[in-house]
Structure 1
Amino acid sequence: MDRREFVSASALALCSIPAVSFSAILPKFYVDPMPDWLVALVAQNDLGIASLRSYQVKNQGDQALGGLKDGYDILNPHSTAALIQWGACGLFSPTSKFYKSTDLLADMDLAAKYLVKTQHADGTIDLLSTNFHSTPDTGFLVKRLAMAYTLIEKSGTPGADKMLLNLKTFLLRAGDALSVGGIHTPNHRWVVSAALTKLNELWPNPKYVARIEQWLGEHIDMDKDGQFNEKSTFIYSSLTDRLLITISKGVKKPELLDYVRKNLDMTMFYVHPNGEVVTDASGRQDKAVIGTLENYYYPYRYLAIKDQNGEYAAMCKLIEKTAGLKTGGFLDYLLTDNTLWQNLPGEKPLLLNYVKTFPNSGLVRIRRNNWDSTLIANNPVWFTFMKGSAVLQGVRFASSFFGKGQFQFEKLNQNGNVWELIQKLDGPYYQPIAKDKISADGDWEKMPRTDRPQSEVQHLETKVMIKETSDGMEIEITTNGTERVPAALELIFRPGGELKGVTKIENTKDSWLLKEGTGSYNFGGGTISFGPGLGLHKNVALRGALPAMEAPTVFLTGFTPFKHTIRFS
């Protein structure tokens, strides 16, 4: 299990516990009683601890003693560190069944020893799925393990000093690596800086601060939209928010919080009606994934309380409603800062009717209460539509024009209330190459097409016009130029729903044709209507088009010159 799988795995494994009131069993001596929502997360964490312990190697003679295996039976530092991270939350929390548990502490000590044993001489660890001797992956572990160190120390668990000594050994060695090591991606700078911040809070060291300042000297990678460079709305934007809060608090740089606020303000326009986050413009592995907003809960809660911001408070409530116990993946954040246990300020209604353009991300968001639509540039999927729980997760258009007819555009052009998308393609043929450029050995690669005259050049221009209607959205597609080119429009729906008014295309897994009239897609009580249809052929695997997605897909087909208008409501 790598660093990216912990939160999702814990959410799936642990979210079955009901959110009941535990305040009656809180010890009277506990100075700051935990609110019920936090106690519920602690109870959920207990299930995670029990699950993780089942993966730990316990055989005394085993070289891997103390390590934890992932779901692929691979021992790794990330799974091992997770036992310490989640276990610390249990030791610290009076309502946990692991509160001050010496048995759990012994397992955590074995885990700490395994981390020290497998740590490289330079202080780094490996992410076995991809990164080796990795400073950033060391940073991911160190930040959370430093928080665990604090929780264990404050728990007063008998025998904790011995375990903490082993954990300190790992952390200080890692600190040496973090003070000099390199990174891969923009967010890694803040991962390393936040980890060094936490280490500096425990064991102040000028070299930690110097390295933090060096990374911060590159400035924060935020555009005018409020988005970070990677545009990773599900994973790395929220991660960067958490990291910048940590750095801001630890090295006393309140100006860093302005970047967090700007990103949180932007994110409020990236929310689908069902509480999912828009991921279509991401530049990382979360592109177009289905994700909820639990990763933003800590930043919204921290600044809702700090700023007394009612909109942020409303976002917290939305996240609690739609992502619930998934926020438990950040329990250590919530336990190490009891200012977060305060009640949220009064909520301010969220904006549910808007048209918002994010030019730097090449994205337009249109929201009308229970439905929304997203327009996306630089993407073969350039339109989505969601109504309630029914999701049209993508629209694509392609023609079999010289194997390069997949429609994609660079820029969204707005003309009044219409967005215009244009693609121009050329399809040339090539004449004999000049005599002085002929390769003596006849090697084709030595006589490139760029050196050959062109002839019989074919042209194809596709223009897509998108506008809002009284109850949804409308797309008009016009393709002119070379005639009789087969074309197909794909409507890609989220799996699990029911299609009506369409005809199954034989010899396909989940492809359908809307020949005429109106079709519909129903999922969980939400219904999207679409049409009118067009079905002039059944070739839905056009040469040069992207492969069909693993999802129910409705096709509208025709030939150039192609002109058709389809509406969604």
Structure 2
Amino acid sequence: MERRKFISLSGKTLCALPVFSSAVFSFGREDKMPDWLVGLVKRNDTGVESLLTYQVQEKNSPDLGGVKDGYDILNPHSTAAIIQWGACAIFSPDSKFYQSDALLSQMRLAAMYLLKIQHKDGTIDLLSTNFHSTPDTGFLVKRLAIAYTLLERSGAAENQKVLIPLKEFLMNAGEALIAGGIHTPNHRWVVSAALTKLNELWPDIRYVDRINQWLDEHIDIDIDGQFNEKSTFIYSSLTDRLLITIAAGLNKPDLLESVRKNLNMTLYYVHPNGEIVTDASGRQDKAAIGTLENYYYPYRYLAMLDKNTTYSAMCKMIEETAGPKIGGFLDYLLADASLWEALPPVTALPLNYVKSFPNSGLVRIRKNRWDSTLIANNPVWFTFMKGRAVLQGVRFASSFFGKGQFQSAKLEQKGNSWELTQTLDGPYFQPYPKEGISPDGDWEKMPKLNRPQSEIQYLETKVTIREIKEGMEVEIVSGGTDGVPAAIELIFRPGGDLKGPLKIEGSKDSWILKEGMGTYTFEKDTITFGPGLSLHKNTVLRGSLPVMDAPSVFLTGFTPFKHTIKFS
């Protein structure tokens, strides 16, 4: 997943765009692509056909060769996709576009448009947010360098019509990459991987020196096996791919240790339905629904390199749960023919475990067909999945001085249970000390910090979570100040059927479970939850987060509050 918005393609086209970081190229014309790779090539053809319909073809247009995104904005990223996808097709004997002069002509138009909009400093813009952006230039370069090599090795008679302008674009971009700055941790590796690919094509000591300057900062991986951004769906897998690129291109095998650590951690971040746990992410994929196609290349690369049978099993699982989406990484797979070989024999993946990741503030509990995630530093602190039935999260809030949304800084194990706690105070404020009163009566010049406090109210909340037979149990205890309205919120994934709760009049999709047990069914899977509690009807408490756009079941009461909910 890249930081960009591409045009929307139909469901028959590629499910995702590739992001490159390749190993050493070893393709020879004597190599025959396996059937699974041929299938991806043919899917790529459909994507190329669709993408070309969005390219500006009018000869007199100033935008000739450019491609618009889904917002009707011409941009370098959508335009580059023609070259990236097209190179895969030109290179592949089983593609309908194999060595196609017509496609090469359209790719040339795209390359010329990229040159036209490239800034004098070598950068390009990410029009949704970043301008004269070194990292976004790097995102393009690392992919276009792969496209350059595929075109060069394709044997197409007219490949120079693309290679000449593409080389000019890449060389210009290289000047930006050896000097420009970054925004986020992963950008260091984006720039370094792009420079690695340029150095493979046109060796330059300046490229290597800049890479080493970034690598001197060390890889940002913790003892859990997680990178700084904790972005399990997008940037962790991206970092894995980038580090493989740098390790292979510069003969730095030690970098692969960080990749292995992350891949080992990710084994325990898999839901029973093949989705990845994203609840602790520090980036835009937080709580996003995503499968594991972004990890396919790293798992396959190291399964082959290490003869790792567990990684091989992960590849098989990803093929089964997100098969078409791995076509987004076709360029990786075409670039290294060693990946075309059969995977090592598989061994069983971990399906029954309790695994703690303290640096991420997360605990994973899985028992084959159901699993649960416990999360600190998050208003959604509990999830439960049973097959395809998904409880996306549990939240707790109270009307306590407008700040009663429960969130715990710590997740602590106590025997066979896990505890989350929060302590709040609600003070009132006395007259301002006379000597400090602002002559103009400006309230902002008399901060509350300096006012004496009185009538201080307190609210302490403890959530205890434990495993029970066939599921989980959550106990919530809240007290200190009596009579505070409180509500538990169970957030289910849209698309299923609720039985037991009653629809709240006037709401879009909010429900009350007054008593007894409720069920949520999605296809053949059912989550049972309860018992219910309904002592008031206020489900939108002051200071609580807005109701999510999903079926939300509420249980309500007052402090002193104590209620236990079972999920099975």
Structure 1 and Structure 2 fold alike (TM over 0.5): yes
Cα distance, 1:157 vs structure 2: 1.0
Q: Distance in 1 between matches of 2:521 and 2:284?
A: 29
Cα distance, 1:344 vs structure 2: 0.1
The 8 Å contact of residues 11 and 329 in structure 1, kept in 2 or not, is answered as: no
Cα distance, 1:566 vs structure 2: 0.5
1:248 maps to 2:247: yes
1:401 maps to 2:397: no
Cα distance, 1:15 vs structure 2: 5.8
The alpha-carbon distance between structure 1 residues 15 and 230, as it changes in their structure 2 partners (threshold 3 A), is closer
Aligned residue in 1 for 2:273: 274
The 8 Å contact of residues 7 and 329 in structure 1, kept in 2 or not, is answered as: no
Q: Distance in 1 between matches of 2:72 and 2:172?
A: 27
Runs ≥4 residues deviating over 2 A: 1-16
The 3-state SS of whatever aligns with 1:323 is helix
Aligned residue in 1 for 2:22: none
Cα distance, 1:370 vs structure 2: 0.2
The alpha-carbon distance between structure 1 residues 245 and 2, as it changes in their structure 2 partners (threshold 3 A), is closer
Cα distance, 1:471 vs structure 2: 0.9
- What are the residue-to-residue correspondences of 1:167-566 with 2, within 5 Å? 167-566=166-565
The alpha-carbon distance between structure 1 residues 15 and 281, as it changes in their structure 2 partners (threshold 3 A), is closer
CA deviation profile, 1:474-529 (whole Å, cap 9, x unmatched):
00011111111000000000000000011111111100000100000000211000
Could you tell me the TM-score, scaled by structure 2's length?
0.97
Identity %: 72
The 8 Å contact of residues 2 and 127 in structure 1, kept in 2 or not, is answered as: no
Root-mean-square deviation (CA, aligned residues, Å) is 1.4
Structure 1: unaligned runs, 5 residues or longer:
17-28
1:152 maps to 2:148: no
1:131 maps to 2:154: no
Aligned residue in 2 for 1:22: none
Q: Distance in 2 between matches of 1:529 and 1:367?
A: 17
- What are the residue-to-residue correspondences of 1:5-24 with 2, within 5 Å? 5-6=5-6, 13-14=13-14
CA deviation profile, 1:271-309 (whole Å, cap 9, x unmatched):
000000000000000000000000000000000011010
Aligned residue in 2 for 1:163: 162
Q: Distance in 1 between matches of 2:552 and 2:354?
A: 27
Cα distance, 1:6 vs structure 2: 4.7
2:296 is aligned with what amino acid? Y
Cα distance, 1:391 vs structure 2: 0.2
2:86 is aligned with what amino acid? G
Cα distance, 1:10 vs structure 2: 7.7
Could you tell me the TM-score, scaled by structure 1's length?
0.96
Aligned residue in 1 for 2:93: 94
Cα distance, 1:73 vs structure 2: 1.2
The 8 Å contact of residues 3 and 78 in structure 1, kept in 2 or not, is answered as: no
Q: Distance in 2 between matches of 1:422 and 1:468?
A: 18
Larger RCO, structures 1/2 (Cα 8 Å, 6+ apart) = 2
Q: Distance in 1 between matches of 2:304 and 2:264?
A: 15
Cα distance, 1:116 vs structure 2: 0.7
Aligned residue in 2 for 1:23: none
1:390 is aligned with what amino acid? A
Q: Distance in 2 between matches of 1:205 and 1:434?
A: 68
Cα distance, 1:62 vs structure 2: 0.7
Q: Distance in 1 between matches of 2:567 and 2:370?
A: 11
- What are the residue-to-residue correspondences of 1:19-30 with 2, within 5 Å? 30=29
Cα distance, 1:71 vs structure 2: 1.4
Cα distance, 1:14 vs structure 2: 3.6
Cα distance, 1:161 vs structure 2: 1.4
The 3-state SS of whatever aligns with 1:565 is strand
CA deviation profile, 1:100-155 (whole Å, cap 9, x unmatched):
00000000001001111110000000000000000000000000000000000111
Cα distance, 1:9 vs structure 2: 5.3
The alpha-carbon distance between structure 1 residues 363 and 11, as it changes in their structure 2 partners (threshold 3 A), is farther
Q: Distance in 2 between matches of 1:319 and 1:351?
A: 15
The 8 Å contact of residues 2 and 129 in structure 1, kept in 2 or not, is answered as: no
The 8 Å contact of residues 366 and 372 in structure 1, kept in 2 or not, is answered as: yes
1:144 is aligned with what amino acid? R
CA deviation profile, 1:178-209 (whole Å, cap 9, x unmatched):
01100000000000000000000000000000
Q: Distance in 1 between matches of 2:300 and 2:7?
A: 18
Structure 2: unaligned runs, 5 residues or longer:
17-27
Q: How many aligned residue pairs are there?
A: 557
The 8 Å contact of residues 196 and 250 in structure 2, kept in 1 or not, is answered as: yes
The 3-state SS of whatever aligns with 1:284 is coil
Aligned residue in 2 for 1:69: 68
Cα distance, 1:72 vs structure 2: 1.3
Cα distance, 1:13 vs structure 2: 3.3
The 8 Å contact of residues 9 and 47 in structure 2, kept in 1 or not, is answered as: no
Cα distance, 1:448 vs structure 2: 1.0
The alpha-carbon distance between structure 1 residues 7 and 275, as it changes in their structure 2 partners (threshold 3 A), is farther
2:321 is aligned with what amino acid? T
Cα distance, 1:7 vs structure 2: 10
1:49 is aligned with what amino acid? V
1:131 is aligned with what amino acid? N
The 8 Å contact of residues 2 and 79 in structure 1, kept in 2 or not, is answered as: no
The 8 Å contact of residues 15 and 44 in structure 1, kept in 2 or not, is answered as: no
The alpha-carbon distance between structure 1 residues 113 and 215, as it changes in their structure 2 partners (threshold 3 A), is same
Q: Distance in 2 between matches of 1:293 and 1:510?
A: 30
Q: Distance in 2 between matches of 1:103 and 1:418?
A: 65
CA deviation profile, 1:418-466 (whole Å, cap 9, x unmatched):
0011100101101111111111111111111111110111011001100
